[in-house]
Every structure is written in structure tokens, then in C-alpha cells.
Structure 1
Amino acid sequence: MFRALFLLFIIVPIIEIALLIQLSEVIGGVATIALIIVTAILGAKLVKQQGVGAMREAQVQMAQGQMPAKQMFTGICVIIAGVLLLTPGIVTDVFGFLLLTPAVRNKMAATFASQAQVRISQGMGQSTFSAEFHSHQQHQHSERREEHTTIEGEYERKE
């Protein structure tokens, strides 16, 4: 994991710098800088708009007693998109704008949900002995916890 992140932090800036140099040769240095500024401003505006919308939807769902999982995922995607859009570069802007697209987010959410279901179902494939053993251990642990969690006494506040 560390190696992948390290490579990501090395390779992505190199690609970004190379693309910005090539772009500046085609459209000019001032136009390239203006493009970077415009995408950052536009991205910040979209991030704010979609972030506030996701927060409102999450509050509505929580008020109805529902878990706002989709809105939480949307919020995470919007935060990541904001970081990507504020980072100068072409590749990061493309990925940032993709994360702000609801169709892309919905596809990602469906993919993550199906992977989570596969992992959960694979975890359920334990043998009966193993499941009973873990259940017995948890029961013993909870009994021990109940013995030691009650403290009796009197409380008096002195000011």
C-alpha cells in the first residue's frame, strides 16, 4: 500500500508537469495558467453545490430514520473531487470532474457495494464448528465484561 501511494505521488506529478508543458506549447503559457485557474474556480463552485446538496439529502434521510449511505458516499466523492480539482493539472482535473458526475458516482457505488457483498458472503462461508467456536468465545468475553463493568458507590459533587 505504501509503495503504491509513493509511486502515485511521484508518477502523477511527473505526468501533470509533462502535460502542462505540452499544453503550454500548444495554447501558450498564459492560457495554460488561465485554464488551471478557471478549472479550480469552476471545480470549487461545483464541489460546494454538490456537497451542500448531499448534506441536505443526508439530513432528510436521517430525519426519516434512514441511513444516508448513498449521500455519505457522494460526500466522500465530492471531497476527493474538490482536492483533485484544486490540484493544478490536467489529469487530476479530469478525475475530479468525473467524480462530480452522478452517473460515474452511481457506477462506483454499485461496484463497491457488489464487492462488499462478495466479501461479506465469503466471510459467511465459515464451517459450523468455527462459527460455534467464535460464538462461544464472544459469549464468554461478554460475561467477563459484565462482571467488571458495574461500579457501585455514591457520588457527591463538591464545588
Structure 2
Amino acid sequence: MFFKLLFLFVVMPIVEIALLLHVGELIGGWTTFLIVIVTAIAGAHLVRAQGLAALSEIQHKTQQGVLPAESITEGLMILVAGVLLVTPGFITDAIGLCLTIPLTRKPLAKLIIREFGQQVVARSKVYGTHQSHQQQYPQDKPSGTVIEGEWQRKDDNR
């Protein structure tokens, strides 16, 4: 975990700055600056459109009574993409663009859900959570109609 954070907050910015300087030497500083500004603005608009589409899909699936796990995952990916696209740099822009475009985002979201789901199942088996309890004792599940209400014992002498 430490090395991931070190890479994210130390190595990645250094690589981004070096790439920006190199591109600036090749095409000019103002042109590089303009490209960074245009990608930030275009990325913000793209993220807004994709984010609204993801939110609409989440609402639609929720109204149907379906768990919108994939849509929520995609929404979080779009949020991360927005941060990456607004951050100056070509590498972060490329990653942000991949997270924004449905062609690359949807397969990645399915992969994340599959990996996360396996971790949840593995942890539930290790820690003995309620999910594994239900799997071991299926007779604990309520059957038929469930009626909620209050009750009081009539033979209680208090």
C-alpha cells in the first residue's frame, strides 16, 4: 500500500512534469499550455455528460428494483476521470479519457466488480459475516408473507 501511494503522489507527478517539459520543448510552451487547458475543459464537459447518463441509469435500475452495482461503479469511475482530466498532464488525461469513454469504462467496471466481489466473499468466509451464516443455515430465511407489528403478552403479571 505504501508503494502505491508513493507512486501516486511522488513518482507520477514527477513523470507528468517531465513529460510536460519535454512536450513543451518539442511544440512550444504556450501550445502545451493551451493543450492542457483545452483537455481540462473538454474533459469536464465529457465527464458531466457521462456522469448525468450514469446517474440516470442508476435511478432507472433502482426504480426497477435492480441493484445498480455496475452503474454505481461506473459513476465512481467517471468521478475519478473528472479529477484526472482536470489535473494538468498528459498521462492523467489519457487515463481519465479511458475511464470516461463507455467503450473502455464498461469492461473495466465489470472487472472491478468481479474482483471486488471475490474479495468480499473471501473476507466473509474468513471473518464469518452474516452472508456466510445465511449460506450455512438457509432455514433461517423467512418464508411466506412477513407481517410487521407490535405484540404484548397477556399472561404477563407485571
TM-score range normalised by the length of the shorter chain: 0.7 to 0.9
1:83-132 deviation line (CA, Å, top 9, x unaligned):
00000001000000010121222221222233244445656878xxx89x
In structure 2, the residue matched to 1:153 is none
Question: TM-score scaled to structure 2, two decimals?
Answer: 0.73
Residue in 2 that maps onto 1:149: none
Match of 1:35 in 2: 35
1:102 and 2:116 matched: no
User: How far apart are residue 6 of structure 1 and its match?
Assistant: 2.5
- Specify the alignment match of 1:67 in structure 2: 67
CA displacement 1:51-105 (0-9 Å, x = unmatched): 0111111111111111111210111010000000000001000000010121222
The amino acid across from 1:80 in the alignment is: V
1:55 aligns with 2:55: yes
* Superposed displacement of residue 2, structure 1: 3.2
Distance in 1 (alpha carbons) for counterparts of 2:14 and 2:60: 43
Q: Is 1:111 aligned with 2:111?
A: yes
Deviations 1:117-159 (A, max 9, x none): 4445656878xxx89xx95xxxxxxxxxxxxxxxxxxxxxxxx
Please give the alpha-carbon distance, in whole angstroms, between the structure 2 residues aligned to 1:17 and 1:120: 38
How far 1:43 moved relative to its partner? 0.1
Map 1:5-154 → 2, pairs under 5 A: 5-119=5-119, 122=122
In structure 2, distance between residues paired with 1:122 and 1:60? 31
Does the residue aligned with 2:25 lie in a helix, a strand or coil? helix
When the two structures are superposed, what TM-score results if normalisation uses the length of structure 1?
0.73
Contact map agreement 2:47 2:82 (CA 8 A) in 1: yes
Counterpart residue number, 2:144: none
In structure 1, list runs of 5 or more residues that go unmatched. 136-159
